[in-house]
Chain A
Amino acid sequence: MGRFLLKRLFQTVIILIIISLMAFALIHIIPGDPVYAMLGSDITPEYHDQVYESMGLNLPLVQQYFHWIGNFVQGKMGYSYHFKMDVLQLVQRRLPVTVILGISSAILSVVLGLLFGIITAVRRGKPIDSILTVLANIGIATPIFWLAVMLVLVFSIKLRWLPSWGFTMPWVDFGKSMKQMLMPTICMSVGGIASYTRQTRSSMLEVIGQDYIRTARSKGLKEGRIIMGHAVKNALIPILTLIGMTLRNCIGGSAIIERVFNIAGMGSVMVEALGNRDYITLQSGIIFLSLITCLCNLLVDIAYAYADPRIRLE
């Protein structure tokens, strides 16, 4: 297990180096001048050059890259000229919002998805199976932004039950936080719930058809125990991959939801940094999100190894 972990960690470092190079190169290819984006085009050329140099943008690109990555490794993520604060400070402020939203939607996706998947598999061919399967198909096909706008129209504007924007940390005001998080979390988890339902159903149906389940039944075990004790456990293995992907997507792909619900998270930071040519924030943000993705993948791999001993042996 130790060797397995070391190997995966080494791979993670290589992936992060490649991503940092790609991110740096792509961001600098984007046309536009960060100084003009920051200060407008009314400034004098002299002042432009002065600020340009103070941002280190006059240095050769290779030097800029090593300067940035060197500092990043030491924990100095640089200064955001758009947000007027250290990027680390910015990430500390904004990332928890995105992570909380991501984790809550991932939990909702997993819990409901697994539940519906098990129900549809166990009640195969019954009305509940058909209803949930149709709903899952609708869930997969529903665009997130459309759902978000519809939810706001119904629950915020028409019924006035839920706030249409903002985010409050649960420990600051739990009630308000739950109200604000409900719609974004639903939007972010609908696709996940649908995918889990379908994946769990397929996986469960495959397992339920196995000889050892038939044996368990012939031994007279109760159906509930067969499903929960034998079928679900084995059906979960392919679902683990999906869990890793869900968490990654929720955290890395929250930009749309954050904008529609006006939530100040990492997604909106990245979009704004891109629009304002805030290179340092963009680069560091990409590395941070890549790091989270790699960690999620690593956790899934470890979970996989625990769930399936064959992987450990390999």
Chain B
Amino acid sequence: MKKLAKALALLLAAVMLLSLCACGGKTASASTASDKTDSSAPAKTDAPKADAATTAPGKTETGTSVPADPDAVKRGGILKLAILVTPNQSGFPISTGTDQNVLATTAIESLGRYDENGQIYGFLAKEIITKPEVPAIILELQEGVKYHDGYDFNAKSVCETYDILLENGREANFANVEKYEATGEYEVTITLKQWRTDAVETLCITCGKMFSPKAYRDHDLEWMYTNIVGTGPFVQTEFTIGEKVTFKRNDNYWIEGQPYLDGVEWIVCADQTAAVNMLKTGDVNLIVYPSMQNYKTLLDAGFTRYGVDSCANIAGDLGMFFASGKEGQAVSDLKVRQAICHAIDHEALCNAFTEGLGVVTNQLGVPGTKENNPDVKGYPFDKEKAKALLKEAGYGEGECEVTLTFTPAFENVFVAVQNMLEEVGIKVIIDETDSIGDKLVVGGKDPYVSICWWSAPTSVSAWFRYFSEHPTTMVGDALDLKAAGIIDCYDKCMTAPTEADQKAAMMELARLCVDEYCLYCPFYATLSYYIGDDTIHDSDFGMRGNTQWTPETTWLG
């Protein structure tokens, strides 16, 4: 019996030792590079610094891709990336998310790209000439470019791509377009109904991803979903939904000598833990947007962050907008909205949930961007003030009831928000939903205090997208936006012919929406981040916008 006890004790000790070995310490494959952000690696020396292509008239500079140190470049190798959502379409005609856009960029190029300040410069369109006085946009295209199927990229093909987008549910993007036509073999002239500051972004980025029109005509939409035929540095070789998407080098790429890699492989990884393990074992080089917790764990283990601490590269902002579809609801009352804002500790939320990648903000324009109005006071965390405002609004302790709608991904944040609101005596009903989209659609009918996602403040259009026709309905009876002057102000932002006019309108709009009418309550914005080993260079991952990267200059070494 004694022998048995000894044997069991030894066995248990061995198991415990094995577990300890497995859990502790730095992994064998962990990068030897600094565990700080790799903001220098993916740098481009010739990034054009165009003057507000989205706002001011004139020309943008041409963007060609050159690595930071051309002599250091190593050729060959397959870049392997773990993607945490299943890409189930190529992004054509409608892109369904950040990750799918990042993936499609491997083979699809757009007419324009963002620079490090979030401004647009020409890429496939070597020059984007804006003429607000006409109003028109002229695209001067790169010459000698071919799609992967051999079709010529020229003015005719750009117009054909626009035609196809219009046929497939993208009418809203062309609502302001009077006509577009080929005015030369490599020149497209787009005549607008009125000058809008978001026109370049809409037509050169959102609808500027150049898929082969021939591929679409030769096949059909279903085929296009899983076949990415663009002009990019890599040609798709496999697209298996739920498994992987692979690309090989485009030997006929239009930029001489590029790309440097032999191929790119996107591995679909539905489980975060599996992706982390794959990075640790060296099976992938990079994870696209892991959870914040996994990002921190990997950073601590010595892996490299790809991204810069620039507010032009915001992965996403998180906050609430106040939507009231019925008159007389609690959130229709300005004082209640202000009380809710005062009750929320933005700093605490940011510290708790962003692992150092958050930027606290009291308005949609994150501090550090040109959209930010420093004079906006916002609603600093003050529980007593929140209680007093509720009292002024006629609500006693526990009498004010609001509904909080959010997706499971943000459950932790909104449970914290729920606690903060309950601390000042607001009763919170949780309405967790898988699809905020559904709620947005019915937002005009039902009373909601709801989660609001708004994307990168890289452009005015993105910044103010929640005040366009569709989101206006979400505010509902909380305010008559037209009477409040918000619609006029928004129109000025979008149609201002000069940057100064636009800036003035933006500042006023921020003041109206936050200080004057308290229509939303932003918590924080999160900077762009990717995490991987230290072998990826000149990729631009996380550097310019949250979906843009430069596969043609990327190299491994």
Contact = CB atoms under 8 A, between A and B. Distances in A.
A271 B270 CA distance: 9
A222 interface: no
A36 B438 CA distance: 8
Contact of B21 (A44, A83, A158, A269): A158
B164 to A, nearest CB: 14
Contact of B435 (A37, A131, A259): A37
A301 interface: no
Interface in A258-297: 259-262, 264, 268-269, 271-272, 275-276
Interface in B423-448: 433-438, 440-441
A44 B277 contact: no
A272 to B, nearest CB: 6
Given A83-B241, A84-B88, A164-B281, A262 B270 contact: yes
B18 A154 contact: yes
Interface string A7-49: 0000000000000000000000001110011111111111100
A158 B270 CA distance: 23
Given A150-B19, A154-B18, A260 B241 contact: no
A187 interface: no
Given A164-B283, A260-B271, A85 B241 contact: yes
Contact of B242 (A46, A158, A268): A268
Contacts of B271: 259-260, 262
B22 A272 contact: no
Given A157-B280, A158-B28, A272-B270, A40 B94 contact: yes
A152 interface: yes
Interface residues of A, number: 47
Contacts of A38: 88, 96
Contacts of B269: 165, 262
Nearest to B1: A127
Nearest to B27: A157
A153 B241 contact: no
Interface in B223-258: 225-226, 240-243
Contacts of A64: none
B392 to A, nearest CB: 36
Interface stretch (B3-11, B304-312, B328-336): B3-11
B4 A131 contact: yes
B278 A262 contact: yes
Contacts of B275: 262
Nearest to A149: B273
Contacts of A84: 88-89, 222, 225-226, 241
B23 A153 contact: yes
Contacts of A45: 441
A160 interface: yes
B22 A153 contact: yes
Q: Which of A36, A153, A165 has the most CB of B within 10 A?
A: A165
A71 interface: no
A47 B241 CA distance: 23
B172 A165 contact: no
B169 A165 contact: no
8 contacts: A43-B94, A44-B169, A131-B4, A154-B22, A157-B281, A164-B274, A259-B271, A262-B271
Interface of A: 31-33, 36-47, 50, 82-85, 127, 130-131, 134, 149-150, 152-154, 156-158, 160, 163-165, 259-262, 264, 268-269, 271-272, 275-276
